[in-house]
Structure 1
Amino acid sequence: MTVLDTRTLNRATLARQLLLDRADMPPLDAVAHLCGLQAQEPQEPFVGLWSRLRAFEPGTLSELLVERRVVRTHLMRRTVHLLTADDVLAWRTRHDAMLRQRVLGVYRRELDGVDLDELAATGRETMADGEPRTMAELTRAVADRWPGVPPRALGEMLVAALVPMVQLPPRGLWRTKGGVRNLPLATWLGKDTEPDPSSLNTSSPDGSDPVGQTLLRRYLAAFGPAATADLRAWSGLAGLPAAVAAARPELVSFRDERGRELLDLPDAPRPDPDTPAPVRFLPAFDNAILGYQDRRRIIDDARRGLSVAGERVVLVDGRVAATWTVEDGTVVATPLRRFSRAERAEVAEEGRAVAAFLSDQASERVRVEAF
Structure 2
Amino acid sequence: MAERELSWARLNRALLARQLLLERADLTPVAAVERVGGLQTQYSPSAYVGLWSRLAGFRRADLTDALTRGRIIQGWVMRCTIHMVSAADHPPMTEAVRAHRRLLWSRDPRSTGIDMAAAADTVRDLLAGGPLTQAALVEGLLAAGFTKDAFAGVQLWIDLVRVPP
Q: TM-score range, shorter-chain basis?
A: 0.7 to 0.9
Query: Which residue of 73, 76, 82 corresponds with 2:75?
Result: 73
> 1:117 and 1:53, CA in 2 relative to 1: closer, same or farther beyond 3 A?
same
Contact 2:114–2:150 (CA under 8 A) maintained in structure 1: no
**SS state at 1:81 partner:** strand
Contact 1:75–1:99 (CA under 8 A) maintained in structure 2: no
User: 5+ unaligned residues in a row in structure 1: which ranges?
Assistant: 171-371
Instruction: Show the counterpart of 2:134.
Output: 135
Greater share of residues in strand: 1
Query: Which residue of 52, 55, 58 corresponds with 1:53?
Result: 55
**SS state at 1:86 partner:** coil
Deviation at 1:117, TM superposition (A): 2.0
Q: Which amino acid aligns with 1:138?
A: L
Instruction: Show the counterpart of 2:159.
Output: 164
> 1:16 and 1:109, CA in 2 relative to 1: closer, same or farther beyond 3 A?
closer
**SS state at 1:132 partner:** coil
Q: Which amino acid aligns with 2:115?
A: D
Contact 1:78–1:102 (CA under 8 A) maintained in structure 2: no
Instruction: Show the counterpart of 1:154.
Output: 150
User: 5+ unaligned residues in a row in structure 2: which ranges?
Assistant: none
Deviation at 1:144, TM superposition (A): 4.1
**SS state at 1:77 partner:** coil
- Between structure 1 and structure 2, the one with the greater Rg is 1
Instruction: Show the counterpart of 1:117.
Output: 117
TM-score when scaled to structure 2?
0.86
**SS state at 1:55 partner:** coil
Determine the C-alpha separation between the residues in 2 that align with 1:134 and 1:96. 23
TM-score when scaled to structure 1?
0.41
Instruction: Show the counterpart of 1:22.
Output: 24
Contact 1:136–1:155 (CA under 8 A) maintained in structure 2: no
Aligned CA RMSD, in angstroms, stands at 2.1
Deviation at 1:102, TM superposition (A): 5.1
- What is the percent sequence identity of the aligned residues? 33
Deviation at 1:38, TM superposition (A): 0.5
> 1:135 and 1:20, CA in 2 relative to 1: closer, same or farther beyond 3 A?
closer
**SS state at 2:84 partner:** strand
How many residues are paired up? 163
Contact 1:70–1:82 (CA under 8 A) maintained in structure 2: yes
> 1:163 and 1:41, CA in 2 relative to 1: closer, same or farther beyond 3 A?
same
